[in-house]
Structure 1
Amino acid sequence: MSLSPEPQEKLDYKIGETLPGVDDIESGPQQGEIEEYSCASNKSWFEDFVDGFRERRIPEIDPNLSPNERAILASSRAPLNRTLKNRHLQMIAIGGSIGTGLFVGSGKALRIGGPAAVIIAWTLTGSMVYSVVQALGELCVALPVSGSYLSYVSRFIEPSFGFALAYNYLLGNLITAPLEIISASITVDFWGVDPKYTEGFVALFFVVIYGINFFGVKGYGEAEFIFSLIKVLAVIGFIFLGIILTCGGGPNSAGYIGARYWYNPGGFANGFKGFASIFVTSAFSFAGTEYFALAAAESKNPRKDLPRAAKQVFWRITLFYLISLTLIGCLVPYTNDRLFAADSVDITASPFVIAITEAGIGGLPSVLNVVILFAVLSVGNSCVFAASRAVLALSYYGFLPSKFAYIDQRGRPLIALVICLIFGLLCFLAGSSKKGVVFDWMLALSGLSSFFTWGSVCVCHLRFRMALRAQNRTTDELPFTAQTGIWGSIYGCILIVVVLCFQFWVALFPVGEKPNAGAFFEEYLSFPVLLVFYAGHKLYTRNWTLLIPAKDLDIDTGRRDVDIELLKQEIIEERDYIKSRSVWYRVYRFWC
């Protein structure tokens, strides 16, 4: 196993030419194409099934290239299936991170911060996430490579930080997946299921989540489409119901409610410290927003579909978070006793359920519990997908054995999925009385990985723009440019640093509690772990480069549109066409 990516030189070739170091294999896929597996008509179903597990190889890469050059070439030519359609990416972008953070976690935030603090925190965090997604959209449309942002870090910043970030991200997803399976089994308790059946439900959900991913990227895409559709419909339904209840509707209505609870008991529960605490909670609720970008290398038309997916984040933030949470603040006071629940998946602590129950509407809490169950399964499904693609990225960059990058004829990263499945067996700790302690400390190893990932995306975007400028090129050659520009990435970096500072403060001095070393490290252990991974890789490789010079950054390998002049002409024609349409159409294309 190689852990020693050396400082690389920019690959010296012109757009449209054959990549250096790649042997000409007549039957192999060409640049930007993937050779799809097809069933031979003379094969039996069993022979076809077995043949589907054979390795799909990429053309041989010149071993004389530097490790980083070989990694860039390999990640850009990963033989994954490109079967994700626009509808899959749209739903992954819109509903990908809607889960217990919104449905249940928002209750804890309301109790600690109050309704005004909730809206301010989610608005600020949402603006930061929107900037991150816009930057990520620009990078993924230009360079839809395997590993996406995990590959960009080693490519645009430097390999040691890429090593540390990728492992932190991988650990987070490997541990979260079995934890979500346990959470799904807990949601079933709402219907009074006998505890002796808990492990049976764990086994069922284990088979569902990992089985979906063994069907390949299309299985993941279809499952996320259904899961996200259910979550989206549930939130939209609650918004209409919430408006009616706020205006005085409902069986137990005592008249118009409006902003009554914003005055009594008030908009803020614990002053600035309460706000700082839920600022962190709001950021965690957006975890997973970046998943749509991991699917960039497996989408049919990233140039067309990914920009739309990136733009949809605005609507998710506005519609699903801010509007629904504003209504929650109107319907549930932060002093409500039901908000004080210890379990993060306890549906009785959900402010959505509390609002419905207080209104005297029967039946809907059970419906919402079904939605929460699907939301938990969706998160688990996405974690398996993300972890398997992280294994690929680590393998291509020499951070894991190259055999771990095995991709079969149906485009499935088999060994990566098997690794995820092995870690997934941790879900059977559900029967242990110590499962909470075990998972708390395992998650602590990577608890801040979302912040590190978002921050690295913003830095990669800034470095990408610097490379364009240093190499006398412009954004005219980019099919999609971030609507927030470089200032959005700068803003994102600043706000992420603020969130990390707030997290340090509230971890050291929790709201309403005394300082506790154990509680602090549960919240902040991942930061020193990241530093250890970074320093360890530096010492092992003896590569003391802190940043790859902008003029040496490779901003071409992995493009599907290799004829830049033709691409520029097509972009101009597309923009001229949009300008020729009505103002309503132009507004629609800007936001959607």
Structure 2
Amino acid sequence: MSDKEKHEKDSVSIEQGVVGPAATRQTNPDFHLDEHDLDRVQRRLKQRHVQMIAIAGTIGTGLFLGSGGALASAGPLGALIAYALVGTVAYSSLCAVGEMTTWAPISGTFPHFAARWVDPALGFATGWNYFYTNAISTPVEITAAVILLSFWDHNQNHVAAYTAVVCVLVCLINIFGVRYFGESEFIFAVVKLTLIIGLLLVGLIIDLGGGPHGDRIGFRYWKNPGAVNRAGLVHGNIATDRFVAILSVLVQAAFSFQGMELVVIAASETESPRRNISKAVRRVFYRIVIFYILGILMIGMLVAYNDEDLLNLKDNNTAASSPFVIAIKRAGINVLPHIVNAAIFTSAFSAGNSFLFCASRVLYGLALRGQAPRVLTYCTKKGLPLYAVLTSSCFTVLSFMSVSSGSNTVFNWFVNLSTTGGFTSWFIMNLTYVRFRKGLLAQGFDPKSNAYHNSWQPYLSYWGMGWTMFFILVNGFTVFWHFNASGFFTAYINIPIFLILYCGYKFTKKTKFWSPLDMDLVTGIPSMEETEEPEVPPRNLGEKIAAIIF
């Protein structure tokens, strides 16, 4: 290497805010790494938006409604173990992608990182996998929102009209731009926080005997009927059957945590992304513990896993099936179920809104790097990737499939497909981080110099990789007791789809795995000076409180 070339590489490294003696910069246009001139999105999400989006990504219908099914399947201790384990895996994935995002807060997020630091073919497969996972999840959440409306309106003739209204509203919020998206998610997050904190307090009061009936529950249901339920699949061995019951809840718990990565996907449209995303990722661990773990613990104290109301309403997706609501009604409090259902409706609506945002931004990132049609790179003057949003919005019409009983089976396939696709994304996040870290060290960068660094890495990512691979393999294990082709297909079809995408692109484009010294850690990545605005210290008590919360 000539002195001039060495000086140029060191200069590039210095521009990024860290010095690396051997920083690599790829100039081959086939790699599409330097596309910042095409990237027209604007940083319109403020600090309060980002912090509340981080909260909203971890609280949704999976906690309010899905927790009832987890309790019925595995019992209070079984559900708690499953949610705690999956919480650590979700946290590892978020830490991994958070660290890479604060290094490179650009459009395309972790699919681009996979293409940049592992293999372009892996980035292509990951990007399209994540796109269709989120695109399919959007109508799933819209349908969940419409079902929640049946809590008040039982007329099935109105379902199509409600579906159309929700579809239009979700699409409009995304079409209006990221500022409207941020404000709507901020409001939804406030509603979710108020709801979960209120439910935890009401649940604690009821459990301690503060309800109208004065019945002190304590840990009664952990003793009778017991802490762990049986799956009913392994006869003659109670311990194995209980273990299988916990396994069956792992997949359901994992679905509840999906969507946490929304905060990093919005990095390219966030003000001071390195500071704000670092703060959001650091706080997520405590939010998982406080809201999810305490929430699961609370419902296990309030409702028995063999409760008749819980079992009878297990397939009901309104607030009536929520274990919180069952406990509240049984305590003699009648008005709260309507309030809870309204709040859960906003959660479902928010989830559909977020999935559509994620799908459009990943599709836009693929287009920037030449892995999707270039027409999708078009942005309005306000930085909205309009064509990517419109393309993603087309998938909302799939929500009308649930209106017809004949197409409902196909719709349920989409639900399972989106779940397994989410597991694949978690695995790729952790795998890409491991490779990214090796590249940093090989090229002389110190990972601790990044705006966000977790001291448990890379072991945290190894933990996440192992468990997500396990989730993918056991996702549909129950079909092997009572085998049916439909159940097997929906549980494992995502594996061959991903492999076809990966192998097809790899053989077509003749891509290769990046060695640590060949990874490009600098091209097209804005410097700290370009992204970060000076932090204004709080001037009064109100601003100090806001700084703690946001």
On whether the aligned pair clears a TM of 0.5, the verdict is: yes
Q: Which residue of 129, 138, 150 corresponds with 1:189?
A: 150
**Which residue in the other structure is 1:432 paired with?**
404
CA distance in 1, matches of 2:529, 2:178: 28
Q: What aligned pairs does 1:77-156 form with structure 2 within 5 A after superposition? A: 78-156=39-117
Aligned residue for 1:230, secondary structure, equals: helix
Q: Provide the aligned C-alpha RMSD in A.
A: 2.9
CA distance in 2, matches of 1:83, 1:415: 19
Aligned residue for 2:397, secondary structure, equals: helix
**Which residue in the other structure is 1:261 paired with?**
221
Which amino acid is the alignment partner of residue 541 of structure 1? K
CA distance in 2, matches of 1:305, 1:64: 31
CA distance in 1, matches of 2:353, 2:84: 27
Alpha-carbon displacement from aligned partner over 1:154-181 (angstroms, at most 9, x marks no partner): 1111111211121111111112212222
CA distance in 2, matches of 1:443, 1:534: 23
Alpha-carbon displacement from aligned partner over 1:270-293 (angstroms, at most 9, x marks no partner): 200000111111111101011100
**Which residue in the other structure is 1:223 paired with?**
184
**Which residue in the other structure is 1:539 paired with?**
507
CA distance in 2, matches of 1:292, 1:279: 24
CA distance in 2, matches of 1:222, 1:385: 13
Aligned residue for 1:515, secondary structure, equals: coil
Contact 2:74 2:228 in 1 (8 A): yes
TM-fit CA distance, 1:553: 0.5
Deviates further, 442-451 or 374-383: 442-451
Deviates further, 376-385 or 491-500: 491-500
**Which residue in the other structure is 2:540 paired with?**
none
**Which residue in the other structure is 1:523 paired with?**
491
Residues 549, 126 of structure 1: alpha-carbon distance in 2 compared, 3 angstrom cutoff: same
CA distance in 2, matches of 1:359, 1:75: 58
Contact 1:97 1:286 in 2 (8 A): yes
Normalising to structure 2: TM-score of the pair? Answer: 0.88
Aligned-pair identity in percent equals 35
Residues 486, 64 of structure 1: alpha-carbon distance in 2 compared, 3 angstrom cutoff: closer
The answer to whether the aligner puts 1:449 opposite 2:412 as a matched pair is: no
Contact 1:444 1:524 in 2 (8 A): no
**Which residue in the other structure is 1:24 paired with?**
none
Aligned residue for 1:250, secondary structure, equals: coil
The answer to whether the aligner puts 1:505 opposite 2:493 as a matched pair is: no
CA distance in 2, matches of 1:419, 1:234: 34
Q: Which residue of 375, 382, 387 corresponds with 1:410?
A: 382
Contact 1:276 1:506 in 2 (8 A): no
Which amino acid is the alignment partner of residue 499 of structure 1? F
CA distance in 2, matches of 1:303, 1:344: 42
TM-fit CA distance, 1:232: 0.9
The answer to whether the aligner puts 1:67 opposite 2:67 as a matched pair is: no
Contact 2:150 2:318 in 1 (8 A): no
CA distance in 1, matches of 2:496, 2:166: 34
Residues 451, 458 of structure 1: alpha-carbon distance in 2 compared, 3 angstrom cutoff: same
Contact 2:70 2:79 in 1 (8 A): yes
CA distance in 1, matches of 2:69, 2:498: 28
**Which residue in the other structure is 1:308 paired with?**
279
Alpha-carbon displacement from aligned partner over 1:31-66 (angstroms, at most 9, x marks no partner): 99xxxxxxxxxxxxxxxxxxxxxxxxxxxxxx9833
Could you tell me which runs of 5 or more consecutive residues in structure 1 were left unpaired when the two chains were aligned: 1-9, 20-29, 33-62, 578-584
**Which residue in the other structure is 1:41 paired with?**
none
The answer to whether the aligner puts 1:550 opposite 2:510 as a matched pair is: no
**Which residue in the other structure is 1:345 paired with?**
317
Which amino acid is the alignment partner of residue 14 of structure 1? K
TM-fit CA distance, 1:505: 2.4
Q: Which residue of 275, 282, 287 corresponds with 2:253?
A: 282
Which amino acid is the alignment partner of residue 190 of structure 1? F
Alpha-carbon displacement from aligned partner over 1:379-423 (angstroms, at most 9, x marks no partner): 100011001011112212322111111111111111111112222
Q: Which residue of 307, 318, 339 corresponds with 2:289?
A: 318
Which amino acid is the alignment partner of residue 222 of structure 2? W
Contact 1:475 1:481 in 2 (8 A): yes
CA distance in 2, matches of 1:278, 1:350: 16
Contact 1:157 1:460 in 2 (8 A): yes
CA distance in 2, matches of 1:101, 1:483: 30
Residues 346, 76 of structure 1: alpha-carbon distance in 2 compared, 3 angstrom cutoff: farther
Residues 455, 64 of structure 1: alpha-carbon distance in 2 compared, 3 angstrom cutoff: closer
The answer to whether the aligner puts 1:14 opposite 2:12 as a matched pair is: no
**Which residue in the other structure is 2:237 paired with?**
none
Residues 262, 476 of structure 1: alpha-carbon distance in 2 compared, 3 angstrom cutoff: closer
CA distance in 2, matches of 1:507, 1:322: 29
TM-fit CA distance, 1:153: 1.0
Which amino acid is the alignment partner of residue 257 of structure 1? I
CA distance in 1, matches of 2:269, 2:509: 32
Contact 2:476 2:487 in 1 (8 A): no
**Which residue in the other structure is 1:58 paired with?**
none
CA distance in 1, matches of 2:64, 2:406: 26
Deviates further, 325-334 or 460-469: 460-469
Contact 2:38 2:377 in 1 (8 A): no
The answer to whether the aligner puts 1:294 opposite 2:265 as a matched pair is: yes
Which amino acid is the alignment partner of residue 258 of structure 2? A
Could you tell me which runs of 5 or more consecutive residues in structure 2 were left unpaired when the two chains were aligned: 18-25, 231-241, 538-543
Aligned residue for 1:205, secondary structure, equals: helix
CA distance in 1, matches of 2:487, 2:453: 42
Residues 447, 327 of structure 1: alpha-carbon distance in 2 compared, 3 angstrom cutoff: closer
CA distance in 2, matches of 1:12, 1:155: 23
Contact 1:118 1:275 in 2 (8 A): yes
Q: Which residue of 505, 513, 527 corresponds with 1:561?
A: 527
CA distance in 1, matches of 2:11, 2:160: 55
Aligned residue for 1:550, secondary structure, equals: coil
CA distance in 1, matches of 2:16, 2:292: 41
How many matched pairs? 516
TM-fit CA distance, 1:91: 0.7
Contact 1:186 1:345 in 2 (8 A): yes
Which amino acid is the alignment partner of residue 315 of structure 1? Y
Alpha-carbon displacement from aligned partner over 1:463-485 (angstroms, at most 9, x marks no partner): 11101111122124312212432
Aligned residue for 2:172, secondary structure, equals: helix
Contact 1:75 1:393 in 2 (8 A): no
Q: Which residue of 361, 372, 382 corresponds with 2:354?
A: 382
Contact 1:172 1:443 in 2 (8 A): no
Residues 405, 15 of structure 1: alpha-carbon distance in 2 compared, 3 angstrom cutoff: farther
Contact 2:97 2:429 in 1 (8 A): yes
TM-fit CA distance, 1:548: 0.9
Q: What aligned pairs does 1:577-588 form with structure 2 within 5 A after superposition? A: none
TM-fit CA distance, 1:426: 2.2
TM-fit CA distance, 1:361: 0.6
